[in-house]
Amino acid sequence: MNKTLYFLLVISSLTIASCKKYLSQVPEENLTLDKTFQTWPTANQFLANVYTRVPDEYGQRDPGGDHNAGLWTCASDEAELTWQNRRTNNLNNGSWDALTDIVGSYWSSYYQGIRAASVFLQRADGINGISQEQIRQHKAEARALRAIFYFHLMRIYGPVVLMGERPVPVDTSLQVPRSSYDECTSYVADELQKASQDLPLQYSDVNQDGGRLTKGVALAIRAQALMYAASPLFNGNTDYAALKNKDGKQLIGQAYDAGKWATAAGAYRDFIAQFVPSVYDLNIDRTNGVIDAYMSCKNAVIKDWNKEAIFVRVSNSIGPWQYALTPFHEGAPGGNDSRGGTAIDPTQNMVDAFFTANGRSIDDPLSGYQNSGYSVFQAPLDDQARSIYNPWTNREPRFYVNITYSKSLWLNTQNGKIYTDFTKNGNSGHSKTSNDYSRTGYTARKAMGFGKWDFNNRTLPLLRLAEVYLNYAECLNESDPGNPDILKYLNLIRERAGIPLYGSADIAAPASQDEMRTALRKERRVELAFENNRFFDVRRWKIAEQTDNGPMYGLSIDSDLPDFTKVVVFENRVFKKQHYLFPIPANDVTNDRQLVQNTGW
Amino acid sequence: MFFPAYAGDGQILKGVTVTATIREGTLETAIREIHKITKVTFAYDKQLLSSYKIAGCVFSKEPLDNVLQKLLQDKSLGYEEVNNVIVIRKKAQPRVVHAGVHVARRDTVISGVVIDDNNKPMSGVSVGVSGSPTMTSTDANGRYKIIVESDSAVLIFSNVGYAQQEVPVGNQVTINIRMRPGVGKELEEVAVVAFGKQRKISLVGAQSSLNVSELKQPSANLSAMLAGRISGVIGVQRSGEPGKSGADVWIRGISTFGSGNSTSPLILVDGVERDFNNIDPEDVESFTILKDASGTAVYGVRGANGVVLVKTKSGKIGKPTIFLDYNEGVNTFTKIPEMMDGVNYMRLANEAKTTRNQDPIYSQDYIDKTVSGLDPLLYPNVDWLDAVLNKTGHIRRANVNASGGVQNAQYYVSLSYYEEGSFLKTDNLQKFNSSLKYRRYNFTTNVNLKLTSTTRLDVNLKGYFSNLNGPALSTQDIFQSAMDAAPVIYPVMYPGGFVPGLSPNGGFRNPYADLTTRGFRGSNINEINSNVRITQDLPFITKGLNFTAMAAFDNHNEQNTNRGKRENTYFINLDYPYNPDGSINLKPSYFSPNPYLGYSRDNNGKRLFYSEGAINYDRGFDRHHVTGLALFYASSKQDAFGDYMTSIPERYVGLAGRVMYSYDDRYFAEFNLGYNGSELFSPSNRYGVFPAGGIGWVISNENFFAGLKRSVNFLKLRYSNGMVGLGSVNDANLRFLYLDKMNSGASGYAFGNFNGVTGVSITRYSSNVKWATSNKQDLGLEVKTMDNQLSLIVDLFKEHRKGIFLPRASNVAFMGLTEQQYGNLGVVDNKGIDATVEYNTKIGRVSLGLRGSITYNKDVLLQNDMPPQDYPWMNRTGHNILARYGYIADELFVDQKDIDDHPVPGGDKSKILPGDIRYKDLNGDNKIDNYDMAYIGRGDVPSTVYGLGFNLGYAGFNLAVFFQGLANCDRFINGDGINPFTAEQSNVFAIANDRWTPENPSQHAFYPRLAYGNADNFNNYQTSSWWVKDIGFVRLKTAQLSYNLPTTFLSKWGVKNAAIYAQGLNLLTFSKFKLWDPELNVSGGNNNNGTAYPNVRTITMGVNFKF
């Protein structure tokens, strides 16, 4: 009896004695924030996570996410997304508001990137194992990224909240107002300017560091931010007269200031002077010394590290994007290699925007455009002439770079030739598939390579020199109409595209500022087609109420020939004044009493 | 020696002679032996006598007087003969009579006969005097005699298997009693409490226990049996799937919110945190829930959601008893969704298009051909639920147990088998077995040993092995695909076993093929629970003191295997459906990447080690009674199959203390203290103190109440108040919130030649949170009246819980945090009432028992860290925790003018037509947006659970019926099928016939105007009050008819007792909600369309024997 008792007492006292350690079993060796910034490999991983917020525009099937995949292509008048249950459709039919997930997704993701960049800036000085110079450069990357994220937010939401240099404390309830659009712009411009000083012109080993931010990226986006600030949406836009903070501060300037265009034009002029042609130049492929316009335009987008690319995203959703670009191709050789989702469907509006081979719009009587009938025609890339519907013959090379139309030869010929057919009973027609048919009778081709769609290693150009030229020309035309640079840079684009230059014997130069504006917009629409500019361009020009509202046209996909080519309305889109800017996510407007909602939401 | 003055003449002592061989043992066994031989009635305190050891001795024709003298030698015991009864008791100390206080003393002998239900005398019934150690038992003729000291004494009659009765003596000298059966009622004398037992009368806290016989129902899971049967429990059964049919159980509702915060009670089986669902009901001895702070404070940071205590059976002294029980039956669904037939489906799909000026989908010719039914391969018309479901499944259960024991050793061993089949179909063409079947084997061994006169050892070993076989896909998946597939999309199967399919990427899966052709899965679970307890009385230190220590070790392992495949699918060639020879012309539509059975597995395992040591003190001094408890425990549970963080053991250590004092069984006071900590919190915040106290007053034991005692037999008031904590999280991701959390596998980036760099990001910054605390108060009233036939227990409760850890809702997204920071931010009030009423009576040979219970709670969210909203209706505070929010559906648009006059969500009216839902513009800004979202429903956890049952017995027949009801709960219905045509080609419920049409523009239609596709349905399928449906119900939960075979007939086979019975579960349901079983939950959030394995109705027949 006493033995038992003794035994029990010993056991229990042992248990109690060890109880302090009993609960202290915490994983001390786990990665912490402090440890992350002790060595470069983990700090680099942290920086890579900041980079992740750079938009992965090819991921439009599932927009948003921490890679900020866009939804811009099919939410503009360029195209329609075949898959109807995607967010682009909410934007197109007006069924979205401040609670819609995608509205919150970009907002929080870019701000997460902004915070992470600030944390990096705050702690990078303590990184061991790399030089002070390297630290300076990586900090500049973080600084530039942070400014770029602000710029993306501003394109989407207008004036935003500026969070300052250091990450804000976490256990607080912030009550801060938005800054005005001009304040945001100057912050972004200053930050990019500052960052550019520590960024390299180029990386010595592009195979190692390609895709990291450079001086050129920082300054090109700086100019872009200035151009946005000069554009009608943010420059004297009285539609936003009521957009004021609670203290009455006007968030979008109400007086038009043409000087903003001049500032932007200056930034572009400096950029071109500094980087062209030493660092950047238009991608031009020549065959026997002659410009091969088709391959030049194609390679400008699909050739890694070509000289035209300024800002590229190395890892991206090229595979899913190519799947979406590839038509269904039932029964085609190669099986899944050439069988895709038929998902990015150019509208007839977009198809009609391409010039004819002689560089004119199709509604120009001199264009020679025929709206019916068939001709024997050999398209670029095709090895034989075939009977093609007239509207798809004799168009400019960029038409063939960008549009897959019925009876066109598919890019991937590795397993044999495939001629895409969108008619009802064609290999990619509506009768063949209930999900993966084109809603317009076309699919897009931008950035489609020549092999199978299931391919993952190709860079995504987010900004290329052609856009810089067009932006420069636009800024000049608004601030200094008649400046010869306008025509010069516009014609550089046309020259590469293989169409007659304005002011040449074939076609007159636009005479007035207005005519030039129209010409620039037309050129831009086709040069940058499906590159996520159109969505924002029509907004900053304040023409979206015309371009993105009402009927969208396509072909009669539920018919075979001949009725197939009849142009019909496939969708009526909804664009109202409020849609120029996304709403601020409802939850933040509720939580931050200083945060005012965008007008109309 | 002190002898009372009225001592008798000693006839028996002198006249009766004893011839006996007394074996070594206790005095109590010796006296019993003498009683057996001489038939002399003795009165004594059984416990007292048991504590004396005697050596063996032999008597030959010795007078009883001499025998007793010898036996009681050297013991502080005396004996006397009183009215033919030999009373053995302590030698009394000379009584001190205080000046001025005269204690009325009138020693009286009370005698009588105890009979049972059938008017037969009962032997061995214990008869005691309340508040005194005097005790005797009835003889073979049911007679007893006992001495009481005053006429205010109360006699207590008790016997295993019978309801205890308390009878005030008054001026009676003869008290005859009829004992009424009542299983488990012996527990009324002592109640199970935290870390021990306690006299029931002394409870000051709110607790309720279940009549364990009610658990014996044809269901694998005990939790499914609780709602309505035990006051204070809110329970809902979310699925009827074999092996997964456990119910969600809350005690007094939900007082916590926020992800990761557990709302479940702490469940202790034999004192250790364990799941109780897999215990065989036959093995349960008691089932108790502790509802208030006085009961749960000792559990500290684990106790705030209430505590469930389950005790398994242990052996009793007596001859071995063997019990056999077997039953078998069928189960079927309580309710399955009724789907639209193919022809009407097409008509409605067409209507959804044409009513919005679009072209119909199906041609009249196609519909006509489907109606004709002549070519079902080309024109299919399938009820997918019918295609996957058989009408019935099968259920079987057996239990055999044996118990018994001698003075120093008792045992209970039990073995059970449970088997439940499903009503999911299988396909004979498949070579594998995919039938859904659950089997479970349970065993329990409880052994109690008395090692020395002061040392006890209890060893308890139990466990189960279960096996689940089923189709490779989860039933949830299969039911979901049955909702996804339209009835006309393709036939069930093509001839030759070709799987029909339409989509080249394998979408629009075939439900029947999903169920039958895709392989099978198996799940084996083994669990062993063991407890070893040693208890040492310490009389040499002081009387009433003991030390006890317990160690428990549990091991749980689980192997899940899945052998799955996917077959190629085919679709009929619409251009040339048939070959010239008449065979069907199929073309492949989808090539499966895995057409042959693959293999995947998933193992899980947990071990738990628990130890506790305690010092107990329990002693009465005259009218004072004091008990005390000091206990230390430590628990460590590890699941090593998770990741770095989750595999760190979950640990608790704590001290628990309790002091109780009672005076004269009238006044009771108790103080409890929990001091404990868990590994979840930072070292500075790790431990907490949780005190609770309570007082009780048994008014019916007051002198002034004596006059009322005949009409009100028992009346007690009690009140408790205390603090309990809640520090447990059910999300491993939320452990160690006091540390920075980095994600080393975050999204990264690639540089250069596609050199991918994995990202590192901050998931969460450290925050110094601690447990939530809950202040609980309880006011209880217990009444017994009508000769103890009617009893009522009512409790009012009130809880204030604060510091609930929550993500900071006030944080704005533009702070850029990946996960919101946690803080002790939430505050909730919860109050309510629970009550039990019981009535037992006997009219002639008919016995009747009624039992009802009700639980009602009202939880109110006071703070959730959301800033004040722009409009009052947007506030979450002031509503219950699970409240739903959305637009308020006003009515359906009447005409174009109506549409022009009112805003719609998103603002686009181009698709709005009369018959679409019009929402209330609460803030009047002519927009329907988040500013118009208001409270639209309570959620699917009811505020009120009630039950009512009766027991009717007549001559061996017994009918037990129990109804259960849930009220004040609702479901937001949405998802494929229930939202017709939102997803193209999805299935549609038959209720779609009840819809708004231009011809029948009813405002009360179930559906608004139909539409096809997501965009056109945008307006109508907003989260709104239109889709919130009341799921309250009353159901005939169980009914049982049994017949006890006459014992005379059986005794020649050695059978003591035998019964045959029929029982049913979920027999009838009455509910306004007709779409599917109202209790059924589906995957939550976005999928409330009835896609879950239905709850089952079971009917079984059984027999049991007792040897």
For the stretch A411-446, pLDDT in tens is: 999 889 999 999 999 999 998 888 899 999 999 999
DSSP code of residue B526: E
Interface probe for B, chosen from A49, A97, A184 (most Cβ of B below 10 Å), is A49
pLDDT at B1087 over 80: no
pLDDT over 70 for what percent of chain A?
96
Residues in A closer than 8 angstroms to B908, CB to CB, are: 93-95, 574
* Contact yes or no for B1008/B1020 (Cβ under 8 A): yes
Q: Give the lowest-confidence range in A236-240, A347-351, B602-606, B798-802.
A: B602-606
* Contact yes or no for A93/A357 (Cβ under 8 A): no
Rounded to the nearest angstrom, the minimum Cα separation between B994 and chain A is 27
Query: With an 8 Å Cβ cutoff, is B747 touching chain A?
Result: yes
- Give me the pLDDT at residue B98, please: 44
Beta-carbon separation of A173 and B905 below 8 A: no
Confidence grade of residue B166 (pLDDT, cut at 50, 70, 90): confident
- Give me the pLDDT at residue B58, please: 83
- HEC-encoded secondary structure of A510-522: CCCHHHHHHHHHH
Confidence grade of residue A531 (pLDDT, cut at 50, 70, 90): very high
- Give me the pLDDT at residue A597, please: 96
Higher pLDDT, A348 or B212: A348
Q: Give the lowest-confidence range in B23-32, B508-517, B670-679, B971-980.
A: B23-32
Interface probe for A, chosen from B645, B812, B979 (most Cβ of A below 10 Å), is B812
Residues in B closer than 8 angstroms to A167, CB to CB, are: 816
pLDDT over 70 for what percent of chain B?
95
Instruction: Tell which residue, B149, B147, B148, B128, has the closest CA to residue B137.
Output: B128
Query: With an 8 Å Cβ cutoff, is A290 touching chain B?
Result: no
Q: What predicted TM-score, i.e. pTM, was given to this entire model?
A: 0.76
Higher pLDDT, B222 or B586: B586
Query: With an 8 Å Cβ cutoff, is B454 touching chain A?
Result: yes
Beta-carbon separation of A66 and B870 below 8 A: no
Rounded to the nearest angstrom, the minimum Cα separation between B113 and chain A is 43
- Give me the pLDDT at residue A388, please: 93
- Give me the pLDDT at residue B9, please: 53
Query: With an 8 Å Cβ cutoff, is A14 touching chain B?
Result: no
Beta-carbon separation of A314 and B645 below 8 A: no
- d(Cα B491, Cα A312) in Å, to the nearest integer? 50
- Give me the pLDDT at residue B707, please: 83
Residues in A closer than 8 angstroms to B747, CB to CB, are: 49, 52, 66-67
pLDDT at A8 over 60: no
- Give me the pLDDT at residue B453, please: 86
Give the mean model confidence (pLDDT) for residues B36-41.
Answer: 80
Chain B: residue whose CA lies nearest to A212: B751
Query: With an 8 Å Cβ cutoff, is B553 touching chain A?
Result: no
* Contact yes or no for A141/A199 (Cβ under 8 A): yes
Element (DSSP H or E) covering residue B80? strand B77-82
Higher pLDDT, B80 or B934: B934
Query: With an 8 Å Cβ cutoff, is A247 touching chain B?
Result: no
Instruction: Tell which residue, B1103, B1104, B1097, has the closest CA to residue B218.
Output: B1097
Give the mean model confidence (pLDDT) for residues B1086-1105.
Answer: 85
Query: With an 8 Å Cβ cutoff, is A22 touching chain B?
Result: yes
pLDDT at B22 over 70: yes
Residues in A closer than 8 angstroms to B736, CB to CB, are: 26-27
- Give me the pLDDT at residue A3, please: 58
Q: Give the lowest-confidence range in B16-25, B608-617, B941-950.
A: B16-25
Give the mean model confidence (pLDDT) for residues B370-383.
Answer: 91
Beta-carbon separation of A591 and B755 below 8 A: no
Beta-carbon separation of B739 and A22 below 8 A: no
Query: With an 8 Å Cβ cutoff, is A246 touching chain B?
Result: no
Beta-carbon separation of B1014 and A84 below 8 A: yes
- Tell me which residue has tokens 């199959």: B641
pLDDT at A599 over 70: yes
Query: From residue B87, how far is each of B3, B4, B43, B71 by CA, in Å?
Result: 11, 11, 5, 14
* Cβ within 8 Å of residue A428, ≥6 positions away: A327, A328, A329, A330, A342, A420, A421, A422, A437, A438, A443
Chain A: residue whose CA lies nearest to B1017: A95
Confidence grade of residue B186 (pLDDT, cut at 50, 70, 90): very low
Q: Give the lowest-confidence range in B184-193, B269-278, B286-295.
A: B184-193
Residues in A closer than 8 angstroms to B644, CB to CB, are: 27, 30
What's the mean pLDDT when you consider all of chain B? 86
Confidence grade of residue B268 (pLDDT, cut at 50, 70, 90): very high
Interface probe for A, chosen from B646, B740, B741, B749 (most Cβ of A below 10 Å), is B749
Residues in A closer than 8 angstroms to B457, CB to CB, are: none
pLDDT in tens, B341-358: 999 999 999 999 999 999
Give the mean model confidence (pLDDT) for residues B1009-1037.
Answer: 92
Rounded to the nearest angstrom, the minimum Cα separation between B682 and chain A is 9
The winner for highest mean pLDDT among B36-50, B103-117, B398-412 is B398-412
Instruction: Tell which residue, A580, A540, A537, has the closest CA to residue A231.
Output: A540
Residues in A closer than 8 angstroms to B986, CB to CB, are: none
pLDDT at A562 over 80: yes
- Give me the pLDDT at residue B1082, please: 59
For residue B2, report the phi and psi dihedrals to the nearest 5 degrees: -105, 120
pLDDT at B435 over 70: yes
Confidence grade of residue B686 (pLDDT, cut at 50, 70, 90): confident
**Cross-strand partners of B402:** B322, B413
Rounded to the nearest angstrom, the minimum Cα separation between A506 and chain B is 43
- Give me the pLDDT at residue B102, please: 44
Residues in A closer than 8 angstroms to B761, CB to CB, are: 46, 49, 116
pLDDT at B95 over 70: no
- Tell me which residue has tokens 């118990």: B403
Query: With an 8 Å Cβ cutoff, is A99 touching chain B?
Result: yes
Chain B: residue whose CA lies nearest to A304: B753
Which region holds residue B560: left if phi is over 0, alpha if psi is between -120 and 50, else beta? beta
- Give me the pLDDT at residue A9, please: 56
Query: With an 8 Å Cβ cutoff, is B588 touching chain A?
Result: no
* Contact yes or no for B656/B674 (Cβ under 8 A): yes
Beta-carbon separation of A66 and B649 below 8 A: no
- Give me the pLDDT at residue B807, please: 85
Query: With an 8 Å Cβ cutoff, is A204 touching chain B?
Result: no
pLDDT at B92 over 60: no
- Give me the pLDDT at residue B6, please: 35
Give the mean model confidence (pLDDT) for residues B1058-1079.
Answer: 91
- Give me the pLDDT at residue A7, please: 57
- d(Cα A464, Cα A462) in Å, to the nearest integer? 7
Confidence grade of residue B3 (pLDDT, cut at 50, 70, 90): very low
Rounded to the nearest angstrom, the minimum Cα separation between B758 and chain A is 6
* Contact yes or no for B996/B913 (Cβ under 8 A): no
Buried-state track B282-297, b at ≥16 Cβ within 10 A, e below 16: bbbbbbbbbbbbbbbb
**Cross-strand partners of B168:** B154
pLDDT in tens, A66-93: 999 999 999 999 999 999 878 898 899 8
Select the residue of A211, A212, A588 nearest B813 (Cβ to Cβ). Answer: A588
Count the residues in chain B.
1107
- Give me the pLDDT at residue B7, please: 38
| Token pair for A439 | 């809603």
Rounded to the nearest angstrom, the minimum Cα separation between A21 and chain B is 10
Query: With an 8 Å Cβ cutoff, is B895 touching chain A?
Result: no
Higher pLDDT, B146 or A156: A156
Rounded to the nearest angstrom, the minimum Cα separation between A595 and chain B is 10
Beta-carbon separation of A4 and B755 below 8 A: no
- Give me the pLDDT at residue B1085, please: 53
- d(Cα B563, Cα B600) in Å, to the nearest integer? 7
Give the mean model confidence (pLDDT) for residues B688-712.
Answer: 90
| Token pair for B1095 | 């709850």
- Give me the pLDDT at residue B1084, please: 55
Beta-carbon separation of B611 and A160 below 8 A: no
Beta-carbon separation of A27 and B648 below 8 A: yes
Give the mean model confidence (pLDDT) for residues B579-604.
Answer: 89
Interface probe for A, chosen from B763, B815, B821 (most Cβ of A below 10 Å), is B815
* Cβ within 8 Å of residue A589, ≥6 positions away: A98, A595, A596, A597
pLDDT in tens, B458-501: 999 999 999 999 999 888 888 888 888 889 989 999 988 899 98
pLDDT at B687 over 60: yes
pLDDT at B833 over 50: yes
Residues in B closer than 8 angstroms to A137, CB to CB, are: none
* Contact yes or no for B772/B803 (Cβ under 8 A): yes
pLDDT at B398 over 50: yes
DSSP code of residue B261: B
Chain A: residue whose CA lies nearest to B867: A591
What's the mean pLDDT when you consider all of chain A? 92
- Give me the pLDDT at residue A10, please: 56
Query: With an 8 Å Cβ cutoff, is B878 touching chain A?
Result: no
Rounded to the nearest angstrom, the minimum Cα separation between B493 and chain A is 21
Higher pLDDT, B470 or B17: B470
Residues in B closer than 8 angstroms to A23, CB to CB, are: 651, 653, 677-679, 683, 686
- Tell me which residue has tokens 């061995």: B124
Residues 540-579 of A with CB under 8 A from B: 572, 574, 576
Cis peptide before B360 (omega within 30 of 0): no
- Give me the pLDDT at residue B81, please: 77
Chain B: residue whose CA lies nearest to A167: B815
Q: Give the lowest-confidence range in B23-37, B598-612, B738-752.
A: B23-37
Give the mean model confidence (pLDDT) for residues B127-149.
Answer: 78
Beta-carbon separation of A4 and B749 below 8 A: no
Query: From residue B760, how far is each of B740, B749, B939 by CA, in Å?
Result: 13, 11, 39
pLDDT at A13 over 60: no
* Cβ within 8 Å of residue A7, ≥6 positions away: none
